[in-house]
Structure 1
Amino acid sequence: MQEHVFTNCRLVLADEVVEGTLVVQDGAIAAIDHGVSSTPGATDLEGDLLIPGLVELHTDNLERHLLPRPKAHWPAIAAVIAHDSQIASSGITTVYDAMAIGDIQSGSMRKKRLEDMTAALREAKEHGVLKAEHILHLRCEVSDPAMQEMLEPLLHSPDLGLLSVMDHTPGQRQFVSEETYRHYYQAKFNLTDNEMNDFIAARREDQKIHSKRNRNFVVEQARQRKVHLASHDDATLDHVEEAVEDGMTIAEFPTTVDAAKASHEAGLAVMMGGPNLVRGGSHSGNVSARELAEHGVLDVISSDYAPASLLHAAMLLADTVEDYDLPRAVATVTKTPAAAAGLTDRGEITIGKKADLVRIWGSALHPIITGVWRDGERVA
């Protein structure tokens, strides 16, 4: 039996913070004791916080490593390993790598990158070189005519853990304002005014033809495979009602207070981006994560495109929002996302759970991670 004792630490449990000792045996939490242990070989954490390993449900950070600059394609295995190292050093021990299934621009390289990323993740797993546990989150762009064709080969992957539906058609959800949509994509794709007008018209036509049947396909596949489902960018009560009918368990990045409140009340875990909290608002002009927290309906934080924002955002919640004490704030990046994705073996410091742990030094400037363990083994 392998045993590891952490002592002289502040343990962040589900509903309280206790000063004491944590005993890990064979990769699982075996005991939680008050006070300092005199066990020979115990690790003295010098009063630092010890929290569960972070659970990240939605990050496209891998794609950024695969394409660090436009046209600068990085070798896929190297990208996966660099991404994994960044994830682990950010305290994330379970990561759902969000892969876009479909795009809003025909002829994009996203399908090729998808094939490269999934194959490289599988190869890295098989060779045992990853520090965090990686699970696939397939984000399905329902307005894309090719979405089903791209999705079907991945539905049989042993790494699949989450499906979500998204629709980036102008005039709704993330882009209620057509002006915001126009500004964002015209700059991104370097389009003239006339080209942008044609682009918007084409996207609306795609939605009319494809969105409903593609959404139904994704929902049915999730039901057949018993895979959890997430909605994306819900803005209205009708969107939330549809999500509830489809059996969603997660509401990713709702864009209005009304949608977030309705999702929370219906039992969906409301997820917002860590960058939204860290920066003080949404980069696309939608509702702020802090506002949802002040309404008491922020359940899960995702690092989205910035892994380091996950812990930072949780600690900001604890420091600045009245109703979020440290255990509740930490739960938004540990216990609640794990439960929303159906992971019952992690996300909480309690006897029997996985010994996925993060040591934090509470610097006055910024929370500093000084140790990360997965299944009791140090990974960062």
Structure 2
Amino acid sequence: MPDQTIQGTVLLQDGRIEAIVPAEQMDIVPDADRVIDACGMYVMPGMIDIHSDAIEKEIEPRPGSRFPMEMAFYELERKLVVHGITTIYHGLSMSGGVGVRSDEVVEQALLAFHRLSHTRSLLRHRLHLRYEVINFPAIDIVRKHISDNSIQLLSLMDHSPGQGQYSASGSYEVYVSKTHGLQGAAAAAMAQRMVEKHKQINWQILKQLAQSAISAGIPVASHDDDSSEKINQILDCGISVSEFPMNLQTAIYASECGLHVSVGAPNIVRGGSHGKNMSALDAINANAAHIICSDYYPSAMLASVFRLINQGMDMAKAFRMVTLNPARALMVDRNLGSIEAGKCADLLLVEVFEGYPLVRKTLVNGEIVYQSDYVQHL
């Protein structure tokens, strides 16, 4: 049930939810071939993660230490079902940079993941292409992936200095130093090149790109919006999701304009942004955030939901932020995102042990893809 919590039984048939039977009507539950005991646990929809950078760390856990795509795929999906994520939108950043965010590696990952996920998998794999808007040579590659429907979400990013995530003076140089090992004059020169590219952005071309994605049924998101002016600009492009607004005023304005606002689970769990940006909790408390994503740490998804519940949020509302709300934003709610008759049986059995939520079983299409059984003492 998307708007309430009930005690009862969920009936599954052929990978879908057949019915939800309240506890007081248990006498009408038919005999079943298989019964999964969820006594003392919560049964919730599988979580839908619309923005995860985890795949980048699986491909390249350290700069220059790249691993095979098949290994990254299989190892990551095993971790994701442990955390209760049953639909993942892998974030691959086509920034024109080096390593895992180079155009070449992103292309390799897109092709490999598309092939592997259509062979067999533990969960629903989707591809979120993150396009850096100053990566002008790659725009034809993005168009190709839109036309052949090899991606399921497109986001437009601008990480150039002087705005967005790097509005503070010198912050981009610090990032370059940590990520690429460039120091002093070299870091400053790279920042200046980014500033010059930013001046060349053609928003008419970006609007056409966004519109072509939307026409193909691919939702489009913006990234690190920092002002009402930026929100108005992306609204003109037809974008429907605002990822990680930089400040509360922008988040509120985006929400008032009808955008789906997404915030990071790590921000909620840690009680603030690691980059000293907007507190996700402040946005949620202001009803200006609707979706929680894992960002860079999938382990934080379920923990973030229960932190909200422990702070007084209605349980059904908290669950929707990782289930039905992202499903609606990405237009997959016909089959996913809630426990309703006819929908896919993507379900979690969650135990709260000493105040901490633990996924005990993960079901995708009614099949158990993960199960944990604890012993009392070793």
Mark yes or no: TM-score above 0.5.
yes
The one-letter amino acid of 2:113's match is: L
Distance in 1 of aligned mates of 2:18 and 2:9: 11
5+ residue gaps, structure 2, are 371-378
The counterpart of 1:116, out of the listed 82, 90, 108, is 108
Q: Where does residue 12 of structure 2 map in the other structure?
A: 24
In structure 2, do the counterparts of structure 1 residues 373 and 202 end up closer, same or farther at CA, with 3 Å as the change threshold? same
Tell me if 1:272 matches 2:272. Answer: no
Distance in 1 of aligned mates of 2:202 and 2:47: 34
Per-residue displacement from partner, 1:257-311 (whole Å, max 9, x unpaired)? 1110011111111100111111111111110101111212120000011111111
| Residue 108 of structure 1: how far off its partner (Å) | 7.5
In structure 2, do the counterparts of structure 1 residues 93 and 210 end up closer, same or farther at CA, with 3 Å as the change threshold? same
Contact 1:171/1:178 (<8 A) preserved: yes
The DSSP-based 3-state class of the residue aligned with 1:204 is: helix
Q: Where does residue 3 of structure 1 map in the other structure?
A: none
Contact 1:143/1:211 (<8 A) preserved: no
Q: Where does residue 354 of structure 2 map in the other structure?
A: 364
Contact 2:155/2:223 (<8 A) preserved: yes
5+ residue gaps, structure 1, are 1-12
Q: Where does residue 7 of structure 1 map in the other structure?
A: none
| Residue 38 of structure 1: how far off its partner (Å) | 7.8
Q: Where does residue 329 of structure 2 map in the other structure?
A: 340
The DSSP-based 3-state class of the residue aligned with 1:379 is: strand
In structure 2, do the counterparts of structure 1 residues 345 and 172 end up closer, same or farther at CA, with 3 Å as the change threshold? same
Q: Where does residue 34 of structure 1 map in the other structure?
A: 22
Q: Where does residue 66 of structure 1 map in the other structure?
A: 59
Per-residue displacement from partner, 1:134-165 (whole Å, max 9, x unpaired)? 11111110011223143233223444211110
Distance in 2 of aligned mates of 1:358 and 1:106: 38
Q: Where does residue 167 of structure 2 map in the other structure?
A: 176
Contact 1:63/1:113 (<8 A) preserved: no
Contact 1:143/1:214 (<8 A) preserved: no
Listed as ranges, the matches of 1:76-115 within 5 Å are 76-103=69-96, 105=97, 110-115=102-107
Q: Where does residue 226 of structure 2 map in the other structure?
A: 235
The DSSP-based 3-state class of the residue aligned with 2:263 is: strand
RMSD: 1.8
Q: Where does residue 188 of structure 1 map in the other structure?
A: 179
In structure 2, do the counterparts of structure 1 residues 109 and 315 end up closer, same or farther at CA, with 3 Å as the change threshold? closer
Contact 2:18/2:341 (<8 A) preserved: yes
TM-score by length of 1: 0.91
Listed as ranges, the matches of 1:157-306 within 5 Å are 157-210=148-201, 212=203, 215-306=206-297
The one-letter amino acid of 1:125's match is: S
Q: Where does residue 4 of structure 1 map in the other structure?
A: none
| Residue 214 of structure 1: how far off its partner (Å) | 5.0
Contact 1:301/1:333 (<8 A) preserved: yes
Q: Where does residue 318 of structure 1 map in the other structure?
A: 309
Q: Where does residue 56 of structure 1 map in the other structure?
A: 49
Distance in 1 of aligned mates of 2:109 and 2:98: 20
The DSSP-based 3-state class of the residue aligned with 1:23 is: strand
The counterpart of 2:117, out of the listed 115, 122, 125, is 125
The one-letter amino acid of 1:122's match is: H
The DSSP-based 3-state class of the residue aligned with 2:338 is: coil
Deviates more, 1:328-337 or 1:22-31: 22-31
The one-letter amino acid of 1:70's match is: P
The counterpart of 1:353, out of the listed 343, 348, 364, is 343
Identity in percent: 28
Q: Where does residue 375 of structure 1 map in the other structure?
A: 365
Distance in 2 of aligned mates of 1:274 and 1:196: 31
